[in-house]
Structure 1
Amino acid sequence: MRLLLVEDDQMIGESVLDILRAEGYAVDWVKDGYLADAALGAQSYDLVLLDLGLPGLDGIEVLRALRGRKQRTPVLIATARDSVDQRIRGLDEGADDYVLKPYDLGELLARVRALLRRAAGRAEPAYEHLGVVIQPATREVSVAGEPVVLSSREWAVLEPLIARPGMVLSRAQLEEKIFGWGDEVSSNAVEVYVHGLRKKLGSGLIQTVRGVGYMVPKA
């Protein structure tokens, strides 16, 4: 999953960036509203973590522009603006959730997972498909009840596929979910991770749609 972190505070930004990447997310980080708006206009994200008090362009304006483009990307506002009126305004402008600074990083991750579940049209905390069970909260994976260890990049490939059975994702779309800005991308990276997943989870879980991409078939 690829996230956009919009945060101008260096210390907070570094802490959040580190914990999100440790959880296997690909994360791009911008520090002002104009850069956030440009990134959202050019790149598809699975979720935006948005501060409001930004230099250049206020977070509410970034949110308004995003929704004005009819983009449905989940937005989690994380800000020190703690008045009820500010929270109401943010939600009414199209935010999906709100967390106040200083926030607990564990709670932040739980809110991110909840929004990603909702965006995928799922309510249950675990994904179970064709004998494979994945637990996003703990990143545990099992096949027929037996635990399987995945690398962070293998997890980043598997999660978006198993979350939406029947949906085909191209190699480029999967690369976007694995790699953030500045990451070195080899030409066969996705193929390598898919091959590893098939060895660990069974050859039938991830199917190749020739000339298009990859999918997890519907049950």
Structure 2
Amino acid sequence: MSKLVNRMHIFIILFAFCLVLSACGVNTTLKANILDVFRAAGAGNFSNLPLNVDQPLSNGDRVRTSDQGEGEMTLPCAKMLIFGGSNLQFTLLSANGANLNVNVGANEISSQCSNITVNLGNPPEAVVQTSGTAFLVAYNPELHMTLLWTQMGAATLANWTEGRAGKTVTVQRGYWSVVRRGREPEPARPVGEMAPVIREMNLGRVYERVVSLIEQRGFGPGVPTPMRLEKIR
């Protein structure tokens, strides 16, 4: 009987360990949803991903999409949709957190991570930090402009100056903010006022895709309705 109890204790400990570390068959993978999604291991050369075939990812790996490409990233604690024209690198991937650098492009992230950090630009001009939320982050290197739009929970946006985060703005659900040329982030505004920024950053197609995802997930009030798309087209 004592052996059985000991085995049960071992099983419970192992099960709890797997829950904490997400180590029970939960991998970090990337999948091409649309053709022309590329990845590179560390500093290696980029190669085209097969459509809808999961590819394992590790720290230091990079992802790039063509203008019409789209990739889906599965982390132990988050899911990411990488839109066309993106270029990013994963600097830290763990069971309960992630750090990544976005050099260009837009990414929709649905996260249960205890911490996720997104650095925008190379060198960084802005940084997004959050936990357990859903948000869109986009960076345009030509405009030197970062957009954060929060759909669930809350996230923070800060400009990056002298090697550290500067002023921080909290962006609640249904609000957005931008950082322009590394200056302090603008005050958070409701999503109904986001159309001019979407046009300025040429994110109309991304916006429509995110709205469709919001409708599928049923995030509820505080997010845009399809009628608002007419303001952007």
Larger Rg: 2
TM-score, scaled to structure 2: 0.31
TM-score by length of 1: 0.32
Greater relative contact order (Cα < 8 A, sep 6+): 1
Higher-helix-fraction structure: 1
- Bigger proportion of residues as strand: 2
